């Protein structure tokens, strides 16, 4: 299975700044076999960055941060995943900021996962418990609910086109009083996710779904996180905005996974 390093820039960097950042990456990154690197700039920068990547013949991929689940129509202000075809290879779906700030529900996410697959774009489905849910011992139930909620209409062939990102909300750097997740915490949750997938799709299929970890990843902890059994890559927020850090994490991934 490939190793995925995905940078989520959230609502940061102008179009010009995004292009300068990408230029730096293009100069510094040498991709290795089995390593997939993707960046998720804001929607307005996707088109120009895709041209920049095409001109440089780089294998770095683009990832959307979000989209609307209908393919087209009277949905003022929205961008559909169909409109993103040919521009991005991936899209984040159900990031906790979408769930908790914008009120996205399991039903929305079920439709988004289906829309992404229908349009040949790989959804990176984010799941993870809040601090409260964790303290009440509800992690397993939350993960089950979020996985089943988003994937219940996806069959075994299509689930192989999905990536899951385990992002405990309490470990995301922008969460108030965020904590650093220990490799043991992550290993337990990744096992739960894998066993949930196994229950729905069977062992063989469950082992083909990449699971990424995201939450306060930086160059100091990336190596430890990448060696957790069952972790196939990282989804990085804050640290991916610093190009030196993102490049360092990519180098670490090359070493750890080679
Ligand atoms: C994220 O929000 O997806 C994330 C992982 O953020 P950070 O790395 O800043 O914790």
95 is annotated as an active-site residue: yes
Task: Report DSSP letters for 112-149, one per residue.
Answer: HHHHHHHTT-EEEEEE---HHHHHTT-HHHHHHHHHHH
Distance, CA of 13 to CA of 9 (rounded, Å): 8
Closest residue CA from atom 2 of ligand 1: 237
CA distances from 249 to 33, 152, 183, 229 (A): 16, 34, 17, 18
Q: Is the pLDDT of residue 258 over 90?
A: no
| Extents of the domains making up the chain | 3-257
Taking the centre of ligand 1 as the mean of its atom positions, its distance from the CA of residue 168, in whole angstroms, is 10
- Which atom of ligand 1 sits closest to the CA of residue 97? 2
Q: What is the pLDDT of residue 257?
A: 80
Indicate the top mutation candidate among 6, 171, 216 to test ligand 1's pocket, ranked by most ligand atoms within 8 A of CB.
216
Closest residue CA from atom 8 of ligand 1: 237
pTM: 0.97
Per-residue pLDDT of 109-130, as tens digits, reads 999 999 999 999 999 999 999 9
255: part of which helix (H) or strand (E)? helix 243-257
**CATH fold for the domain made of 3-257:** TIM Barrel (3.20.20)
CB of 84 sitting under 6 A from ligand 1: no
Q: Is the pLDDT of residue 98 over 90?
A: yes
State the burial class of residue 211 (Cβ atoms within 10 Å of its Cβ: 0-12, 13-18, 19+).
Answer: buried
Give residues with Cβ within 8 angstroms of 64, minimum separation 6: 40, 43, 46, 79, 81, 84, 88, 90, 91, 92, 121
- Which atom of ligand 1 sits closest to the CA of residue 218? 8
Distance, CA of 139 to CA of 112 (rounded, Å): 23
Q: What is the mean pLDDT of residues 78-93?
A: 97
What DSSP state is assigned to residue 214? -
Residue 237 φ/ψ, nearest 5 degrees: -95, -100
Indicate the top mutation candidate among 39, 64, 99, 217 to test ligand 1's pocket, ranked by most ligand atoms within 8 A of CB.
217
Residue 89 φ/ψ, nearest 5 degrees: -100, -25
Taking the centre of ligand 1 as the mean of its atom positions, its distance from the CA of residue 217, in whole angstroms, is 7
CB of 253 sitting under 6 A from ligand 1: no
Per-residue pLDDT of 24-56, as tens digits, reads 999 999 888 999 999 999 999 999 999 999 999
Closest residue CA from atom 7 of ligand 1: 237
196 is annotated as an active-site residue: no
CB of 94 sitting under 6 A from ligand 1: no
Q: What percent of the chain has a predicted confidence (pLDDT) above 90?
A: 95
């Amino acid at each position: 299975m490939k190793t995925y390093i995905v940078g989520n820039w959230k609502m940061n960097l102008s179009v010009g700044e995004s292009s300068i950042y990408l230029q730096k990456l293009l100069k510094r990154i040498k991709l290795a076999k089995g390593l997939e690197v993707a960046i998720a700039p804001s929607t307005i920068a996707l088109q120009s960055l895709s041209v920049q990547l095409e001109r440089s013949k780089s294998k770095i991929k683009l990832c959307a941060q979000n989209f609307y689940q209908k393919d087209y129509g009277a949905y003022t202000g929205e961008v559909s995943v169909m409109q993103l075809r040919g521009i991005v290879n991936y899209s984040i779906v159900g990031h906790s900021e979408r769930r908790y700030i914008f009120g996205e529900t399991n039903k929305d996410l079920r439709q988004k996962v289906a829309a992404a697959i229908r349009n040949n774009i790989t959804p990176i489905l984010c799941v993870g418990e809040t601090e409260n849910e964790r303290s009440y011992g509800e992690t397993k139930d939350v993960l089950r609910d979020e996985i089943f909620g988003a994937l219940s209409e996806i069959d075994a062939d299509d689930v192989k086109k999905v990536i899951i990102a385990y992002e405990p909300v309490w470990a995301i750097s922008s969460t108030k009083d965020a904590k650093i997740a220990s490799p043991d915490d992550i290993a337990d949750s990744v096992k739960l996710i894998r066993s949930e997938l196994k229950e729905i799709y069977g062992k063989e299929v469950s082992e083909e779904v990449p699971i990424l970890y995201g939450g306060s990843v930086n160059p100091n902890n990336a190596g430890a996180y990448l060696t957790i059994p069952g972790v196939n890559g990282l989804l990085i927020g804050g640290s991916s905005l610093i190009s030196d850090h993102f490049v360092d994490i990519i180098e670490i991934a090359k070493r750890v996974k080679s």
